[in-house]
Structure 1
């Protein structure tokens, strides 16, 4: 099915492109690609976009930590240590946002804030990875115990 709005939009784009002289087209295309890349990079590195990524990562780590607490009862100390690692970046982020300068100085330190938030996001994702490794180790340990128990049962049945 053809949508009339898509047809009109594509015809408007082609009409606009046809107005550009042939010699100028590569330069206009290069400028459009460069502008879209710059806008994407700027949008991706804005502090509020970074904060959205951090909030998503924190929610995932919190969910994984709850799951790990249920599955990894033998590794309680490691879980407590992971939870303190998790709480430190969260509280550090809140403290840094509280001490953020006013709007006049904001543009001057925006790159620094963005880099700090990127490092914080990497740290939270690292915590998530370590929790996943811990949960996987618990699964492997449980599987090994089940296999050993099944072998003992099988050996007991064969010997009797």
Structure 2
């Protein structure tokens, strides 16, 4: 039965990969092709760490991975800076020409998504709880009531 299942599973996965292909990861629009190549290289170096057999190999592979990781981060930072600069110049140009749609789109991309700030937990008097000990010890009225009912029913 187990061998049957393995055969069926292998046939399904190979057929799906052949016709559909592997899922392509959607990367950010501002990441350059060179950076994507560096990311692939870093991924291979990570696999080399996991596949290394001796400690010496592992240490050498980790050193290579650390260097590759630094290069990837440096490259991503440079790509993002270049992207933001291009957006800013496009927004300035649109503002000079009076093209409000381009200006709005560029500003929206630069500003990013808005998220509401976190609201603090408040005590019974309505004062915000600031100490972590109080936050950890904070218990709602429902929780207190349910713990009392559990004590009475036991």
State the TM-score, normalized to the length of structure 2.
Answer: 0.38
| Greater fraction helix | 1
Higher relative contact order (CA 8 A, sep 6+): 1
TM-score by length of 1: 0.36
